[in-house]
Amino acid sequence: MRILLTNDDGIHAEGMQVLMNWAKTIGEVTVFAPKVEQSAKSHAVEIHKAFEVKKVSLFDGSEGYSVDSTPADCVRYAILGMRKNFDLVISGVNRGLNIGRDIMYSGTVAAAFEAANLGIRALAVSTEPKSFDTTRAQLDCVWAFIQSHRLLEKTGILNINIPHELTGDSIRITRQGGPYYSDDFHAIGNDMYLPVGLSIHDDQRDFTLDTDATLNGYITITPLTIDRTDFAAYNAIQSKE
């Protein structure tokens, strides 16, 4: 299996090393990742100016490609620019959960969306900022679950979140939850304002939601889609025509 790895924390981030070491056990790995951190850049791509793509030496001495642009552009360049073929794209491991409505800001998840847009199945993998230890220990189990349930035969995108402290060994299939984080904007002088994040999650202990399940210690796998059609509205409108 040919695997493309990317992230939004930067090509030399610890999460990339964790993912790369594991992915080599299941396939042939190629890395195209941002030169510098691109967190919360969502699905931005560069269409107005050139950007640098450069071979770099990675953690184990193997080569990867440093891309001076967004995670989505990393995927676009690898597939459209280099004309490489992949069976799977994996984005991560992100230092920070990507759950609930926060996924719309995520460069990690956007890379998976771009892969699906180009016809390749994809995983986005995230964990809590404090440590990658649990993720290292659980990636084999998560992959075995995906394989045994044939999840990638059912959907093109899986958003995976692995909390640091687990509740048992349960993996839950979830749907996207609601708001998780928001921002206050603090004035710091000279007309400058600093966004400061704060949690606004309302825990209902509804473990069908990625927010509630992940924050209560469950590994969650959420199938996503690039189709943003509001089908409830669409069907309601169509039925009255």
pLDDT tens digit sequence for 22-40: 999 999 999 999 999 999 8
**pTM of the complete model beyond 0.85:** yes
- Residue ranges, the chain, pLDDT below 50: none
**Range of 116's domain?**
2-239
pLDDT for the residue numbered 241 = 63
| Alpha carbon distance 192, 207 (integer Å) | 40
CB of 193 within 8 A of CB of 187? yes
Q: What is the distance between the alpha carbons of residues 33 and 14, in angstroms, rounded to a whole number?
A: 13
The count of structural domains within the chain is: 1
The count of other CB atoms within 10 Å of the CB of residue 84 is 13
Q: Give pLDDT, residue 62.
A: 84
CATH of the domain at 209: 3.40.1210.10
What pLDDT is recorded for position 130?
93
